[in-house]
Chain A
Amino acid sequence: MRDGEARENRRPSDDPMRRPRAIHGRAPDVFRLGAWVPMRQFGEDEEVDFAIVGTGAGGGTLACKLAEAGFSVVAFDAGPYWRPLEDFASDETAQSKLYWTDERIVDGENPLQLGSNNSGKSVGGSTVHFAMVSLRFRPEWFKSRTLLGYGADWPLDWREMWTYYEEVEQALKIAGPITYPWGPKRPRYPYRAHELNAAAKVLARGAEALGISWTETPLATISAPRGASPPCVYRGFCTLGCSTNAKQSVLITWLPRALHAGAEIRDLAMVGQIETNGADRVTGVHYHRDCEWHFQRAKNVVVAGYAIETPRLLLMSATSRFPDGLANSSGLVGKNLMVQGNQAVWGIMDDEIRSYKGPPSLAITEHWNYEDKGKDFHGGYAYMSQGPLPVLWARTLAGSRGLWGEALLNEMQRYNHSVGLKVVSEYMPQERNRVTLTDEKDQYGLPIPRVTYSWCDNDKRMNRHALAFMRRALEAAGAREIWDQEDDTCHLNGTARMGFDPRTSVVDGDCRSWDIPNLWICDGSVFPTVGGVNPSLTIQAIACRTADRIKALAARGDLEVRSKDRQLV
């Protein structure tokens, strides 16, 4: 590295939101101030093995695994390539730069609030600001239609997923409890659980009082040193970008590995269309970077833009041969959008809580994910302790509780005594919840997506159950003046579900499009059901599995053409 160059790039003019950083054969070294790591680069005429659209939990993980398997990989992301040590201020408002806040139209009976809880526009995707909660699915959820009577079965076996969960937990050095109270035995988490903060102890006390199990939440932030990552300093800005690199996001785990293995990452590169040829194969992607459109040739395209951008790109890539969009012979692209419930109960404790200290969700109970009796609804939920930072807390009090003026000021005075429990619950897949295209255009000249969302009766019953139960738990822990926050949701899944049949799903269990054999989808879009846990660990596990399947298919020459017998599986 030349000194002058490094200094030049450290100047404020190095604005990662305006100028790409991953250029000239190098990418930012996320672990060192102003440093770079070498990056292989591919020509646009060079037909790479895989063009991956998105570098989050799905795309970033897959880029790493495919590059390590020897494939040539270019991964595109519309967001900037952040340097966590330099770009992540302790400022809630400034850090909203991590969210995908491009224009979108939301409607339905319960329009979604898009941004912090469900999207990211960064290299590394929303894992750059996710809450690090790393949970496994309950095994029965992979067969929820057959075993539990709702939703749809997954074409994946839970035992196989158990091995991929372990791979991801090791890759992220998840800090979790010694024994997990629910579900089949799992291997020991690589790192030990973090110390509980006072807010987590409130959850624990409530659970003890109600006689249900609780545990430390398995988190993707390390509790002991790891390589260039120092252990968590409990700064509390976890959902706004970790400035110490304790958080094991895709940006600092899979992507450095991907670069080392020879993958190229193109930041500030918005893919607007997938090109197809007369043989109904994809041939590459059109992407917007540095104020102009480019085309990258590729033998395979993987779409990993999460549950809004993925169907949007497939729909935008419609041709005369695929008038309804790519991979959409089932008509299901964009349908079955699933979010998760994120309601909360909040109260006041006599003792100081200071819930903003440390990771926000240090304690959890999955009781209602694994207990099927006593429910008037399908699905399950987990709830966790919470640690809202001041601006978010003020917004919650104003938006959800209707406080303003002096009342809001007075309530903010009690910030240090506020405590809450927040749910992650399993909403049902419904075809009416969907992503479609509008006629309006965004800054790239691409059609703005419309996101339509409504709760079904089952979702509403679950909301009521969760709020009532969490209220009891908070009361039992000694909180008073308890109130319900009824409006919040989180995460995005569905819209390109995997399945057993081309007529009722978009991709097969290998995340491969039924219609176009060299088109893949690898993110939360492929979920047929969401489960009652945060989805990131499952998305990464699916990406690891997909990489292994692609390796196996390539080894037997099935990557170009889908063999007939595979369709019968």
Chain B
Amino acid sequence: MSREVVTSGKQIGEDQVGLGIIAAMAALALAAVLARKQKYRRLAQSSGTVTAARRLNRAAGTLAFSVLFDSAIEHYRGSFHNKAMYTPLVVSSLALAVSAHGVNDERSEMHRLRDAIYVAAAVIGAIGTGFHIYNVAKGPGGINWQSVFYGAPLGAPAAIALSGLLGAAAERIRDSDPHRPRVFGLPAGRLAAAIASLGLLGTTGEASLLHFRGAFHNPFMFLPVTLPPVSAALLAETALGKQHRSRWFTRWWLRLTTAMGFVGVCFHAYGVHRNMGGWRNWRQNVLNGPPLPAPPSFAGLALAGLAALTLVEDRPDA
């Protein structure tokens, strides 16, 4: 980096702009790859619900993966001072395992154990959110910027709850009438779209808070607070709007959001490098720096959105 950049207060040098362009191209390439495969995966009428369910399993697994590694790192950093801090590791490991099982399961019926684990993840995620709210509120001054910046993150346990919710929905879609899939009595595709939409909004809130804490010192930190809300809005329209045969813009935007979720790991890896000692000091900086496993939670939710979108597009009544 040039000396002017170091001292002028500007945060971005040519190298970073270059990195951003490469990242954007990688994201587009990934989106294009996903799009090409999509043609072959267009749902046959008979197995449509199974495919949709497997995609939701995949989304739930991506979220569980993100939660597993994020909670492992953050709770290790917190020295597991409360035994309950092991809970998300167990729950997200199980959710990840059953998601993998679900992705490879082509049967069109609910799997009892998978479903039980997903439902448990949803419930425990909700309880964990309560724990985190308590942690944030107990400091001096109650809930204020200091406590929400540095207390337990409110959105993190919610992510495992979302994983469970998406998984539970997947199990119920398998069980549904392929021509008229229903979950909890509601149209399955629209319900999944709504869950993904709300999840994206919540995750955006979390990213906004933490990127604000980092003073948006790098302009790329604005990406996860601008792309996902648009995805959320598009999915809300999918959930509530009229039936369309093709929502190409929504699909592309969700692919972009998915790619961003994965590319975000690279940005966070760069952020780790900018801490004292960089990657040579990884044992400290992986804990101090931006959380590496966090961005894929966007990908998980966007993948859920894509699964929901296909269901809605293919089945007027879903």
A contact set with B: CB distance below 8 Å: 29, 31, 37, 170-171, 173, 177-178, 190-193, 195-196, 201, 204-205, 208, 214, 216, 223-231, 233, 244, 246, 252-253, 256-257, 260
Across the interface, do A246 and B6 meet the contact criterion of CB distance under 8 Å? no
Across the interface, do A193 and B215 meet the contact criterion of CB distance under 8 Å? no
Q: Please, which residues of chain B bring their CB within 8 A of the CB of A37? A: 3
Contact of A195 among B5, B140, B149, B218 (CB under 8 A): B149
Given A201-B139, A201-B140, A230-B275; A192-B3 close (CB under 8 Å): no
Can you name the residue of chain B whose Cβ is closest to the Cβ of A229?
Answer: B6
- Interface residue? B80 (CB, 8 A): no
Can you name the residue of chain A whose Cβ is closest to the Cβ of B277?
Answer: A230
- Interface residue? B220 (CB, 8 A): no
Contact of A192 among B10, B141, B214 (CB under 8 A): B214
Q: Which of B182-234 contact A (CB under 8 A)?
A: 212-215, 217-218
Most chain A beta carbons < 10 A, residue from B6, B11, B149, B217: B6
- Interface residue? B104 (CB, 8 A): no
Q: Please, which residues of chain A bring their CB within 8 A of the CB of B4? A: 260
A511 to B318, CA, bound (A): 76
Distance of B217 from chain A, by nearest CB (Å): 5
Given A31-B6, A37-B3, A225-B217; A178-B271 close (CB under 8 Å): no
Can you name the residue of chain B whose Cβ is closest to the Cβ of A254?
Answer: B7
Across the interface, do A257 and B215 meet the contact criterion of CB distance under 8 Å? no
Closest 3 CB pairs of A and B: A204-B140, A225-B274, A227-B6
What is the 8 Å Cβ interface bit string for chain B, positions 271-314, against chain A (1 contact, 0 not)? 10011110000001000100000000000000000000000000
Q: Which of B32-87 contact A (CB under 8 A)?
A: none
Do most interface residues of chain A lie in helix, strand or loop, or is the interface mixed? loop
* Residues of B within 8 A of A (CB-CB), count: 30
Q: Please, which residues of chain B bring their CB within 8 A of the CB of A226? A: 9, 11, 217
Q: Please, which residues of chain A bring their CB within 8 A of the CB of B150? A: 195-196
Contact of A230 among B10, B146, B213, B276 (CB under 8 A): B276
A234 to B8, CA, bound (A): 24
Can you name the residue of chain A whose Cβ is closest to the Cβ of B139?
Answer: A201
A205 to B275, CA, bound (A): 31
Q: Please, which residues of chain B bring their CB within 8 A of the CB of A204? A: 140-141
A191 to B214, CA, bound (A): 7
Q: List 7 A-B contacts (CB under 8 A).
A: A31-B6, A173-B215, A177-B145, A191-B217, A196-B150, A230-B276, A260-B7
- Interface residue? B1 (CB, 8 A): yes
Across the interface, do B140 and A227 meet the contact criterion of CB distance under 8 Å? no
Contact of A225 among B9, B212, B275 (CB under 8 A): B275
Q: Please, which residues of chain A bring their CB within 8 A of the CB of B140? A: 201, 204-205, 208
Distance of A384 from chain B, by nearest CB (Å): 15
Most chain B beta carbons < 10 A, residue from A170, A173, A226: A226
A193 to B145, CA, bound (A): 9
Contact of A244 among B145, B149, B215, B276 (CB under 8 A): B276
Given contacts A225-B274, A257-B8, 13 further A-B pairs with CB under 8 A are A29-B3, A178-B145, A190-B215, A192-B145, A192-B213, A192-B214, A196-B146, A204-B141, A214-B141, A225-B218, A226-B9, A230-B277, A233-B275
Contact of B7 among A178, A214, A257 (CB under 8 A): A257
Distance of B12 from chain A, by nearest CB (Å): 10
Across the interface, do A231 and B275 meet the contact criterion of CB distance under 8 Å? yes
Across the interface, do B217 and A224 meet the contact criterion of CB distance under 8 Å? yes
Distance of B238 from chain A, by nearest CB (Å): 36
Across the interface, do A223 and B215 meet the contact criterion of CB distance under 8 Å? yes
A216 to B144, CA, bound (A): 11
Contact of B276 among A31, A216, A224, A233 (CB under 8 A): A233
A559 to B42, CA, bound (A): 79
Can you name the residue of chain B whose Cβ is closest to the Cβ of A231?
Answer: B275
A131 to B267, CA, bound (A): 32
Across the interface, do A227 and B1 meet the contact criterion of CB distance under 8 Å? yes
A256 to B4, CA, bound (A): 9
Can you name the residue of chain B whose Cβ is closest to the Cβ of A208?
Answer: B140
A8 to B292, CA, bound (A): 40
A367 to B145, CA, bound (A): 20
Q: Which of B1-27 contact A (CB under 8 A)?
A: 1, 3-11
A343 to B274, CA, bound (A): 38
Most chain B beta carbons < 10 A, residue from A31, A177, A195, A227: A227
Can you name the residue of chain B whose Cβ is closest to the Cβ of A192?
Answer: B213
Distance of A182 from chain B, by nearest CB (Å): 16
Q: Please, which residues of chain A bring their CB within 8 A of the CB of B218? A: 225
Distance of B208 from chain A, by nearest CB (Å): 13
Q: Please, which residues of chain A bring their CB within 8 A of the CB of B6? A: 31, 227-229, 256
Most chain B beta carbons < 10 A, residue from A178, A191, A192, A216: A192
Can you name the residue of chain A whose Cβ is closest to the Cβ of B217?
Answer: A224
Distance of B142 from chain A, by nearest CB (Å): 9
Can you name the residue of chain A whose Cβ is closest to the Cβ of B213?
Answer: A192
Q: Please, which residues of chain B bring their CB within 8 A of the CB of A192? A: 145, 149, 212-215
Q: Please, which residues of chain A bring their CB within 8 A of the CB of B9? A: 170-171, 173, 226-227
A223 to B217, CA, bound (A): 10
Distance of B101 from chain A, by nearest CB (Å): 40
Q: Please, which residues of chain B bring their CB within 8 A of the CB of A196? A: 146, 150
Across the interface, do B215 and A233 meet the contact criterion of CB distance under 8 Å? no
Distance of B86 from chain A, by nearest CB (Å): 24
Q: Please, which residues of chain B bring their CB within 8 A of the CB of A205? A: 140
Q: Please, which residues of chain B bring their CB within 8 A of the CB of A214? A: 141
Can you name the residue of chain B whose Cβ is closest to the Cβ of A243?
Answer: B276
A243 to B276, CA, bound (A): 10
Across the interface, do A227 and B7 meet the contact criterion of CB distance under 8 Å? yes
Distance of A31 from chain B, by nearest CB (Å): 6
A193 to B1, CA, bound (A): 26
Can you name the residue of chain A whose Cβ is closest to the Cβ of B10?
Answer: A227
What is the 8 Å Cβ interface bit string for chain B, positions 138-174, against chain A (1 contact, 0 not)? 0111000110011000000000000000000000000
Q: Please, which residues of chain B bring their CB within 8 A of the CB of A253? A: 7
Most chain A beta carbons < 10 A, residue from B4, B10, B275, B277: B275
A350 to B140, CA, bound (A): 17
Contact of A227 among B5, B141, B213, B275 (CB under 8 A): B5
Q: Please, which residues of chain B bring their CB within 8 A of the CB of A225? A: 217-218, 271, 274-275
Across the interface, do B7 and A224 meet the contact criterion of CB distance under 8 Å? no
A170 to B7, CA, bound (A): 12
Q: Please, which residues of chain A bring their CB within 8 A of the CB of B271? A: 225
Distance of A121 from chain B, by nearest CB (Å): 23
Distance of B147 from chain A, by nearest CB (Å): 9
A38 to B106, CA, bound (A): 68
A249 to B277, CA, bound (A): 20
Distance of A360 from chain B, by nearest CB (Å): 18
Q: Please, which residues of chain A bring their CB within 8 A of the CB of B145? A: 177-178, 192-193
Across the interface, do B215 and A227 meet the contact criterion of CB distance under 8 Å? no
Q: Please, which residues of chain B bring their CB within 8 A of the CB of A228? A: 1, 6
Q: Please, which residues of chain B bring their CB within 8 A of the CB of A256? A: 3, 6-7
Q: Please, which residues of chain A bring their CB within 8 A of the CB of B3? A: 29, 37, 256, 260
Distance of A197 from chain B, by nearest CB (Å): 11
Across the interface, do A233 and B288 meet the contact criterion of CB distance under 8 Å? yes
